[in-house]
Structure 1
Amino acid sequence: MDIADSEVAPQSPATDAPHLSDRYQIQSTLGAGGMGVVYLAEDRKLHRRVAIKRLKADAASDNAHQRIQQEARLLAQLNHPNIVALHDVLEDTLDNGGRSVALVMEYIEGTTLRAWMRERTPNLQQKLSLLMQICQGLQQAHDLGIIHRDLKSDNILIAENAKGEPVAKITDFGIAKSQQLDEQTLTAENQLAGTITAMSPEQILGKALDARSDLFSLGTIAYELLTGSRPFGKNDTGALAMAHRVTNDPHTPPQQAWAGIPEPLAILLDKLLAKDPAMRPQSAQIVYQGFALLHKQGLEAESEDYTATLTDLFTHHKIKSRRRWQRVLAVVAAALVLSTGSYWGWKEFTRLEPQYIAVMPVEINGEIRGEENAKALTRTMVRQALMNSVSQLKASALVSFTPKAGQDFETQLQKLRDKGVTDALHAKLECAEARCEIALQRVAPADSQVKQQASFVFLADKRQEAEYRIANSSAALFSQIYSKHSEKQLLMSDSDYSSYLDIVGRLESKDVTKEDFKLLSLLGSTYPKNTTIYRTVTDVAAILYVLNGDSLTLNSAIQILNSAPDYGIDETFTDGLKLFLYSLGDHQEKFGQLISKLESSNYPISELKSKRARYFYRNGQYQEGLREAQEAAELNPSADNFYLVAMNQTASGDYHNARTTLRRIAKNFPKHWSSYSLLGVIELESGNLEAAESAITSIPEQQRGWRTKSNLGTAYFLQEKYHKALPEFRKALEQAPKDIPTTGQLAETYLALHERTKATKYFQLVLELSSEATSLDSLQYRAIALANTNNINEAILLITKLLRENPEDTFIKHAASQIYATAGEWRSANLYIKELLDQGMSAEWFKLPAFQLLCAHPQALEEVTATICN
C-alpha cells in the first residue's frame, strides 16, 4: 500500500532495508503484501516524503516484473489530483543477476476508503463528494484508454486537504490494462486478475472488458459507501460462491439496504450494477454529472427536505411547497455549470428502463367446488389480478395480448417477442375442490427464461382475498425500484363482486352492454378506492364506443377517471386510461396535453409514441404519425412499432419505403401476418394484383382476420374475378357484420356485375350503419353510398369536407373521383384520377361503371382515358 494505513502502522527501519538510491532514504515500512513491500522514504533532493513500492526478492518472477512495469507505464501517463502520482522509477540488480523495479510514488498521509468508512460518520454530501472525485480520476484514466480492473475501497486512499476536507486518490494500477496495448496475462496461470468482490460479471467470466467494467466496480464502492452494506452480501462463503452471486444473482435493492435512499440514487446504483455492460452508464463523466447535481441539491436543501426535493427534481412530481420549488429552480440553474446538455442527459439517464408487460392465458388444472362456472370465474379473477399488478409498477405499460386458440406456450412467447414485450406474467393453478395452489411466473419472452417466480395456496371461494394477494405477489416479482405501492385490500359485497367478475369475463368476447357500464359506474361510486373497477370502466366504454359509436358512455368514463385521484387512485394509472379513451374520441387537444404530461413522467416513452402514432393515423395525419412511429420503433424495435411505421407510410402513398419496412419485419418477424396483409394492400394499390393475392394467401387461412379476407376479396375484384370476390366479402361480413367498408365493397362488386338492385340494397345498409359514424373509412363509404342512392348533393358535401380534412389520403381521393364521376362532375373526376395515377395507383382501381362512363366523355383527359379505359 502507498499510505500510512491505520491498520498497518509505520515500522522502524529494518536493518536489512534495501538501498535503492542515494536520493531516497528509507525511513520505515508502510505495509507488505504477497508480492511486494511499500516503504516510507525521504526524497533528499526535493525534501518531501514519498512511498516506494518494491518487489520482494522471492517474488521477482517474470509475471511480477510485468505487473510492476505495467503499473509504471500506466501511471506515467496519468496526471490527475485524484490519482496517486508516480514520481520516479528505480531499477537495480538482484543477487541472482536479475533486475528489480521499484516505483517512487506520491505519499498519502491518510487511510483507505474502507478504513475511512469504518472510522468516520460522513454525511451524504461528503460521500457524494468522494464519489465525484473517484469519477473524475477514473474518467482521466479511461480517456487514456486505461482500465483499472481492480477498483475497490482498499485501492481508494483518503487524505485531507488544507481545509480539512476528504480527498480521494485512486491507487494500485498493478493489474490495469491499456486498451491501446496488446492483451497480456499479468497474473498467475489459471487465476483471475483482481478481487472477486470488485469485479464486474464480464471480468469474472473472462470476457473482453471496456471502461464500463470499472463502472460496475465503482457501483460496488458507491453502494457500500452510501448504504453501509455490500450489494452481493459479505464474502464469507468463498470466492467461487461470490463469483456466482455477482454473475447470476441480482444485487440487494438499494432501498432494502437504506430505506430512505433518494430515488435517483437508487436508480443510479441499479444501473451501475447492471449485469449487462450496455445497461450501465457509458462513461464515468456521466456518473460524475449525476453525483455533482445531487451533491449541489443536498447542499442547498434543508436536510429534512432533501429526499423529497430530489425526487421532485428528477421525477417531475408535483411540488406542493413553493419554497421547495424555488430551491429546485436554484439547483437547476446551478447545474447549468455542468452544461444544459449534461443536466438533461443525466435526468434522462435516471429514468427507469421501460417495461412492456403482457398477461398470458391462465392455466387451471383440476376442479373447483362452487357455482357451475366456478372455474371460469376463477380464471377471470386471476387474469384481472395479473393485469392490475401492472398498475403498481412505475415505467410499466400493460400490453394487450389474446393468443389465438390452440397456440402453444412457445408460440405465444414468439408473439410477445414480436410485440416488443419485455415481461410476461403467467399463472398456473392446480385446484382440488376448495383449494388452489397457484404458481406465478415472470417470464422473459426474449429468451423464454423465468426471471422470478412465487407460489402459494388460496381458498377457491375466497376470490377477492385471492385477487388481492395475486396482484401484490405479481408486482413483487419485479425489481423494487419499479414499485409504486401495494394494493390495499378493499372488499366488495359477494353479490357485487360476482356481478363485477361476470362483466370482466365477457370483455374478451366484447359481449358487454350499456347496462353493464351503468352497473360499473354504480360499483365505482360504491367502492371508489378500488383500482380494478376503473380499468374495467375504461374497457367497457371503449368497446361500446368502437362497436356502437357511443360517445356519451365514453365521456362518462372520462369523468369517472377524472374523479379517481380524489380517492387516492394513482394519477399516472388513470392518465394512461384516459389517454386510451382520448385516442378513440374527438379529444385532440386533451390527447396532446395528456401525452405531454405523461412524457415528463416515468411512463414508457415508446408506448406513448406508438399511441400518438395510432392517433395520428386514425385521424389522417400520416406524416405526424410516421414521425412518432419511427421514434417508437427506435426506442422499442418491435414488430408492432415497425408495422405502425409501414401503416403511415402506406396511407401517405410512400409505397417504396413501406415495402422496405415490411421486408424488414418479414426478415426479423417472419410470422407477423399483419405485415403480409399490409403488403397485400400496397400491391393492391400499386396494381400488382397477383403479388397482392400471393402476399395475402401466404397467410395461413386460420390466421386471416376479416380485414384480410376483405382485402383478398378486393384483390379478386380488381382482377375482375367478381364471383371469387363475393364469397370473400361475405366471409368477412360473417365475422364483422357491421363493418361499413366491407359492406360497401360488396355493394361495389354487385355494381361491377351490373346487379344494380343488390348493389342498392347494400348501399342502403351502408347508410344505416354509418348514420352516426365518425371514422374516416366509414364516412368515405357513406359518401359513396349517398352518391349511389341518388343523394348526390349530400355526397359531394361530405366528400369535400373529408378532402379538406385529409388532403393526403389515397382512399379519400379515390372515393372523391368515384363520386364526381357518378355525379357527372367530369373535370373534378379527371383531376383526382390523374393525381392518383401519378401517385402510382393502377388502372384496375377504375373498373367500376362510374369510371367507365368517363371514357366516352369529351372532357376526359387523354392521359386518363389512355390508362383506365379498355
Structure 2
Amino acid sequence: MDIADPEAGQQASAANTNQSATELPGNGSDRYRINSTLGAGGMGIVYLADDLKLHRQVAIKKLRDDVASQNARERIQQEARLLAQLNHPNIVALHDVLGGEESDSGDIALVMEYIEGTTLRAWMRERSPSLQQKLGLLMQICKGLSEAHNLGIIHRDLKSDNILIAENSKGEAVAKITDFGIAKSQQLDEQTLTAENQLAGTITAMSPEQILGKTLDARSDLFSLGTIAYELLCGSRPFEKHEGGALAMANRITSEPHTPPQQAWAEIPEPLAVLLDKLLAKDPARRPQSALIVYQGFALLHKQGLEADSEDYTATLTDLFTQQKVKSRRRWQRVLTGIAATVVLSAGGYWSWKEITRLEPQYIAVMPVEINGEIRGEENAKALTRTMVRQALMNSVSQLKASALVSFTPKEGQDFEAQLQALQNRGVTGALHARLECAQTRCNIDLQLISPLDQLVKQQANITFLTNKQQEAQYRTTNEAIELFSPSYRHAELRLTAMSNSDYSSYLDILGRMENKALEVNDLNDLILLSSRYPRNSYIYQGAVDVAARLFVLNGHEDHLQSALRLINQAEDYDIPTHLSARLKLFIFGLGNYPEKYHKLIAELEKTDFPVAELLSERSRHFYREGDYQAGLKYANEASELNPSVDNFYLKALNEISSGSYDDARSTLNRITSKAPNHWSSYAALGVIELESGNLTAAESAISAIPPNLRSWRTSSNLGVIYFLQGKYKAALNTYQKVHSTTPESALVTSQIAETQLALGNIIEAKKSYTDVLNLTNEKDDLESQQLHILALANLGNTSKAISLAHKLVQKYPEDTYIKYSAAQAYALAEEWHSVNYYVEQLLNQGMSAEWFNLPAFQRLCTQPKISIDLKAAICS
C-alpha cells in the first residue's frame, strides 16, 4: 500500500470528503462501504472500508481519477495478478479484485487485508525497539521476500514506507510487505512496467542496477532490504541526502560507497556490519544469493542475542563469526547453543551465512612515492623519506583483514595512468599512492586509495610532519593509510614503539638498500640487533623478514630463513599481533623447506579471513615443492581466476614447466612478460624451458635479459648449464664455481660441478664433489635433495641403492622431468640399457633436448645393440 506521501494523502482527502459517495468498480459499492481515506500516493488512493458480507474491515486501493491512464491500469492489474499468487503471513493479502474486465470504464480496485498499524518508518520514529526486536522484524521481511522470489516476483520498490507493522494477539510486532504496484514478475513482459519510459520506484530504495536500467533479479530487492536494515539498525540512511536532488542521490547510489555501518553505529556487532556491507554491494554478484540466506543469518544472530547477556552480546557474536579465541567457558557454551540453533534452520544455512559475512579479499599495491621540493638534512634525506613513506604504506596492508600486499615496481618511464592499468592487469583491487610536498623542514603527504579498475580515488587523507620527526611520521602514515579502508577490514590500531634517532636511521638505511637491490649479509644481523633493543616494534620484524627472504633468494642460505623464524617466535613473546606473525611465518615457510609447518599453517589460515586466492597460491606452491604438479596447477589456476595477478600466473607456469607442458608454460610466461616487462622470474623460467628444449641461444638470451645483480644463484647456475650443453665445459665450470663461492652448501651447484668435471675427464675431482653432494643431501627428504642423492650414489658406484631410490621416486612422481632424468643416469651407470632406453625416449618425446645426453654414461648407450633407431639418431650424432 502506497501511503508514503502525506501531502498526497491530504489532497486525496480533500478531493474525496464524501467517501461514502465514491463509486467502486463493478459491484463493489454493493458489498463494500468506504469509511475513510487511509492514505495516497502519486497513482492511487487507499480507503478503509467495511466488508458487509464477511463483517470485517478491509483496505481498498483504487486509482485516482486524474491519473487513470492505460499504463496505470496495467500496473494495478499486474499488482492484482502478483498478489493473487502470494499467500504468506508477512505479505499483505489480496481478498478481492473489483472491476477490470467486468467494468465498462475499465477501472479496477484491489480489496486487501486491512493492517491496523503503521509503516516501518513511522514505527522506527515512535518506538525504541531492542536489537532482538529489530532483527525479528528483518527476519519476517526476509521470509516474505523469499516467498515472492520463489514465485519469480521482484518487488522493485521495497522501502520502509512499504512495510506495515501491526501487532498480533501476543502484542508482538508483525511485518507485512505491501505495494507490489511496480513489482516485476520474471514471467511477465517488461513492457507493462515501463510503457511510459519512466523510472518506476523510489530512488532511495533502488539498487544501482535498477537506477542504471539493467536487468534485475531477486538480488535487487536484497539491496533495498539492505537500506531498510541499515536504517533500522543504525538509525540513519546508508546514503544521506545532499543538495542536488534525485539525480545526485542516484549518482551516490551507483558510484559512491555507502556510509560504513560502524560510522553510524560505533558498537555494531561485526557480523551485522559485514552483512550490511554485503547487502549494499554495488555488484549484485557480491550480495547474498537469496533472501533465505539473509534470513538464516538474522535468525542466528537473533537466537544468539536472546541467550546472551547484554554486555557479552557483541563479543559473543564476534567470537562465533570471526573465530577469535573465546575468553570464557560460559560464553563458549552460549556460542555452541547458537551453532546448534542453525541446525534447525538448515544444515547449509550456517555455512551460507559464514560465507556471506566473509570479507571480500583485497589485493593492495603501493605505488611509487612522489616527492616534490627539497628536504633539509643528509645528502640522501629525500631517499630516506621516500623509503619511510613506502614502508609505512606496505606495513599498513599487514594491519588489514582479508588483504594481501602485491609487489609492484613500474616500468621505467611509465606514466601514472599506465601504472594503474598495469595494476589492474595484475588483479590489484586497491592502490595506495602518496604525494609529498616538502619545504626544507616540513612535508605534507597527500594519501590516496585508488581503484585501478575505474582509476577513481576512493578515499584520501592528508598529513603534515616535520622532517626531523620521521619515525612519528611513519607511524602516523601507517595508521592514516589503514583509515582509508572500510572499518570492517581494520585490525586494532598499530602502536608506536620508538627507536633512537640513530637506530631509526640505520633501520631506514637497510630498507633503502633492500629496495635498491644492494643488501649485505650484515644488514640482517643489524636488524636482529635492533629487534633485541626494541622487541615490541613490529616494523623491525617485518623489515627483517623481508631482508632475510631477499638474501635467501640471492644466495640460497637456509640460515637466513632460520634467523627470520627465530625472530618471529621472539615477536610472539612480546605480544606482536598474531595475524602479523602468521603472515610472516607463511612467507618464510613458503620460501624454505618446511612442508609440515607450511601445510598446518595454511589449514589454520583457511579458517580465518585470509584472502582465498592467496591461500590457493600457497597451496599451489606447496604441491609444486612436493612434486604433485597437477595439483599445483589446479590450485594455481583457481588462484589466478580469483586474482589474475602476475604471481599467480607465474605459479601456473612453474607447474606447467615441471610437468613437461612446455608450450603451455611458454604461453603463460609470454602473457606475463607482455604485461609486466620487468618480471625477471618469468625470464628465468623461460630460460629453463628453452634450456630443456635445447634452444640454447634462446635460453641464454632470456637469462641475459635479467640484470646480473638481480639473478638468483639458481638462474646463474642455469647459465652454466647452457655452457655445459654447448660443450663449453671450462666456461660452465667457471660459472658454477662462482655461484658455489656464494652458495657453498648448495647440493645442486656441487652436483653440477661434479658433472662438469666428469665431462672434462677429471674423475678424481668429480668423485670428491659427488661425495660432498652425498653428505649435503643425506637424510634430507625434499625432492631435489633426493634426486641429487640418486646421482651421487650412482656416480660413486652404489648403483643398486640409487636404482632402488629412483624407482620409488618415479612411482611417486611419474611426471617429474628431473626425477626421470636422474633415474636414466642411474640405470646408465648400472648398465641396465633397456631401462635407460625407456626413460631417454620419454624425456625426448616430452621435449628435452638431445644435448642433455652428452654425458659419458649416456653416450655408452650408443654402443649397445638394442638401442632403438630413433634414439640412436637423436643422441648419438
Shorter-chain TM-score above 0.5: yes
SS in 1 for 2:170: coil
Q: Does 1:215 align with 2:222?
A: yes
1:246 is displaced (CA, Å) by 1.7
| 8 Å contact from structure 1 (residues 770, 779) kept in 2 | no
Counterpart AA for 1:442: L
Shift of 1:814: 1.0
Q: Say if 2:41 is the partner of 1:24.
A: no
Q: Does 1:538 align with 2:545?
A: yes
For residue 795 of structure 1, report the CA deviation from its aligned partner: 8.9
Structure-to-structure mapping, 1:670-749, within 5 angstroms:
678=685, 681-682=688-689, 685=692, 687=693, 689=694, 701=705, 706=711, 738=742
Alignment deviations for residues 408-434 of structure 1 (CA, whole Å, 9 cap, x no partner): 444544443343222222222232221
Alignment of 1:69 with 2:84, yes or no, is: no
Specify the alignment match of 2:143 in structure 1.
136
Amino acid at match of 1:170: I
Question: Which residue, 337, 342, 351 being the options, matches 2:344?
Answer: 337
Residue 86 of structure 1 is matched in structure 2 by 94
CA shift at 1:733, angstroms?
9.6
In the other structure, the counterpart of 2:191 is 184
How far, CA to CA, are the matches of 2:558 and 2:760 in structure 1?
Answer: 37
1:399, 1:766 → 2: CA distance?
A: 41
Distance 1:4 1:716, change over 3 A: closer
What is residue 52 of structure 2 aligned with on the other side?
Answer: 44
User: How far is the alpha carbon of 1:300 from its aligned partner?
Assistant: 1.8
How many residue pairs end up in the alignment? 859
Query: What's the offset of the Cα at 1:186?
Result: 4.1
Deviation at 1:828, TM superposition (A): 5.5
Structure 2: tracts of 5 or more residues without a match:
none
Q: 2-side partners of 1:404 and 1:770: how far apart?
A: 44
| Paired residue secondary structure (2:141) | helix
- In 2 relative to 1, CA 45–243 (structure 1 residues): closer, same or farther, beyond 3 Å? same
Deviation at 1:267, TM superposition (A): 0.5
- 1:137 deviates by 1.3
Q: Report the Cα offset of residue 862 of structure 1.
A: 7.0
For the Cα contact (< 8 Å) 2:806–2:823, is it kept in 1? no
Partner of 1:817: 824
- Encode CA deviations 1:506-537: one digit per residue, 9 max, x unaligned: 22355445543343233223322211111122
For 2:189 and 2:404, the matched residues in 1 are separated by 46
Other structure's SS at 2:434 match: strand
Give the conservation status (yes or no) of the 8 Å contact 2:23–2:29: no
- Counterpart position of 1:356: 363
Residue 608 (structure 1) aligns with: 615
* Contact residue 696 and residue 708 of structure 1 kept, 8 A: no
Correspondence list, 1:191-270, <5 A: 191-234=198-241, 238-270=245-277
- In the aligned structure 1, how far is the partner of 2:620 from the partner of 2:373? 45
State whether residues 625 and 783 of structure 2, in contact with CA within 8 Å, keep that contact through their aligned partners in structure 1: no
Taking the aligned partners of 1:4 and 1:403, their CA distance within structure 2 comes to 55
Write the letter of the residue equivalent to 1:43. D
| Cα gap change, 1:499 to 1:684, in 2 (>3 Å) | closer
- For residues 325 and 521 of structure 1, the distance between their equivalents in structure 2, rounded to whole angstroms, comes to 40
Deviations 1:338-370 (CA, angstroms, capped at 9, x unpaired):
222221121121110111112222222332211
Higher mean displacement: 200-209 or 248-257:
200-209
**Kept after mapping to 1: 8 A contact 2:261/2:273:** yes
Query: Structure 2 vs 1, CA of residues 671 and 548 (structure 1 numbering), >3 Å: closer, same or farther?
Result: closer
Among 414, 419, 431, which residue is 2:426 paired with?
419
Mapped pair 1:282 → 2:289: yes
Residue by residue over 1:239-269, the C-alpha shift from the partner in whole angstroms, topping out at 9 and shown as x without a partner, is: 2222222222211110111111111110010
Q: How far apart are the structure 2 equivalents of 1:667 and 1:492?
A: 44
AA at the equivalent of 1:323 = R
Q: Which moved more, 1:377-386 or 1:738-747?
A: 738-747
CA separation of 1:606/1:113 partners in 2, compared to 1, >3 Å: closer, same or farther? same
CA distance in 2 between partners of 1:839 and 1:771 (Å): 32
For 2:869 and 2:512, locate their aligned partners in 1 and report how far apart those are by CA, in whole Å. Answer: 61
Comparing 202-211 with 822-831, which one deviates more in the overlay?
Answer: 822-831
The alpha carbon displacement at 1:41 in A equals: 1.4
- Label 1:447 to 1:765 Cα distance change in 2 as closer, same or farther (>3 A): farther
- Per-residue deviation at 1:231? 0.7
Report the TM-score, using the length of structure 2 for normalisation: 0.87
For residue 22 of structure 1, give the secondary structure of its aligned residue in structure 2: helix
- Is the partner of 1:519 in helix, strand or coil? helix
- List alignment gaps of at least 5 residues for structure 1: none
Give me the whole-angstrom Cα distance separating, in 1, the residues matched to 2:241 and 2:146.
29
Shift in alpha-carbon separation, 1:863–1:780, aligned structure 2, 3 A: farther
CA contact (8 A) 2:371 2:437 kept: yes
Task: Give the 3 Å change call, closer, same or farther, for CA 313–424 of structure 1 in structure 2.
Answer: same
**Aligned residues of 1:145 and 1:179 also touching (Cα < 8 A):** yes
- Aligned equivalent of 2:64, options 51, 56, 68: 56
Look up the equivalent residue of 1:217 and give its one-letter code.
S
1:292 is displaced (CA, Å) by 1.4
Q: CA deviation at 1:298?
A: 1.2
1:154 and 2:158 matched: no
Give, in whole Å, the separation in 2 of the partners of 1:460 and 1:733.
47
Counterpart CA distance in 2 for 1:413 and 1:235 is: 31
Residue 458 of structure 2 corresponds to residue 451 of structure 1: yes
Which of 600, 608, 629 in structure 1 is aligned with 2:636? 629
Q: Percent identity?
A: 62
Aligned to 1:521: 528
1:649 aligns to what? 656
Q: Write out per-residue CA displacement over residues 370-416 of structure 1, whole angstroms, 9 at most, x where no aligned residue.
A: 11221221122111111111122111112233445554444544443
In the aligned structure 2, how far is the partner of 1:671 from the partner of 1:503?
Answer: 23
Offset at residue 173 of structure 1 (A): 1.1
Instruction: Give the Å deviation of 1:607.
Output: 0.8
SS at 1:54's partner residue? Answer: strand
> Does structure 1 residue 571 correspond to structure 2 residue 578?
yes
Matched, 1:792 2:796: yes
The residue identity in structure 1 corresponding to 2:514 is L
Structure 1 residues 497 and 711 mapped into 2: Cα distance closer, same or farther (>3 Å)? closer
Amino acid at match of 2:68: A
Asked if 2 retains the 8 angstrom alpha-carbon contact of 1:5 and 1:110, the reply is no
Counterpart of 2:491, as a letter, is K
- Counterpart among 442, 462, 467 of residue 469 in structure 2: 462
Amino acid at match of 1:384: Q
Question: Contact 1:132/1:291 (CA < 8 Å) preserved in 2?
Answer: yes
> In the superposition, relative to structure 1, how do residues 551 and 733 fare at CA in structure 2: closer, same or farther (>3 Å)?
closer
Note if contact 2:375-2:441 (Cα within 8 Å) is conserved in structure 1: yes
Letter in 2 for 1:792: L
Match of 2:318 among 291, 311, 318: 311
* Distance verdict in 2 for CA 1:591–1:571, change over 3 Å: same
Post-superposition offset of 1:865 = 4.2
**Do structure 1's residue 508 and structure 2's residue 512 form an aligned pair?**
no
C-alpha offsets along residues 719-763 of structure 1, whole Å, 9 cap, x if unaligned? Answer: xx657x9989999999998577996898699789x7546x99899
Distance (Å, rounded) in 1 between the aligned partners of 2:466 and 2:775: 51
Q: Which amino acid aligns with 2:43?
A: M
- In structure 1, the residue corresponding to 2:180 is in which secondary structure? coil
Q: CA deviation at 1:468?
A: 0.9
Could you report, residue by residue, the CA deviation over 1:306-343 in whole angstroms, capped at 9, with x for unpaired residues? Answer: 11111111111011111111111121112012222221
For residues 169-195 of structure 1, the C-alpha deviation after alignment (integer angstroms, 9 at most, x for no partner) is 111111112222222264695642111
Match of 2:42 in 1: 34
When the two chains are superposed, the root-mean-square deviation of aligned CA atoms in Å is: 4.0
* Contact 2:724–2:732 (8 Å) recurs in 1: no
Amino acid across the alignment from 2:110: L
